[in-house]
Amino acid sequence: MPIVVDIDVMLARRKMSVGELAERVGITPANLAVLKNGRAKAVRFTTLAALCEVLACQPGDLLRWEAETPEEAVPSGTASAGPGS
């Protein structure tokens, strides 16, 4: 999946355990593990907001997009002209 979850990075920066984060956010450690391991299909904005509040970060600190293939990195119709154009 091209959405990468960086909760582990923020947990390390804040020196916080998964269990402590789950408790402070109000979700189960199992549900937090599903999210942090990239297996979640969706995340509620209320959960994302609570994560950001507890971790004192922005949503972009927790979620980022990575292309699966080079073609995904450039939307169609916006590719630069190649040699000889």
Structural domains of the chain, ranges and CATH numbers in brackets: 3-63 (1.10.260.40)
pLDDT tens, per residue, the chain with 85 residues: 689 999 999 999 999 999 999 999 999 999 999 999 999 999 999 999 999 999 999 999 999 999 887 665 556 555 555 555 5
* Pure H helices in the chain: 7-14, 18-25, 29-36, 45-55, 59-62, 70-73
> pTM for the complete prediction?
0.78
pLDDT of residue 84: 56
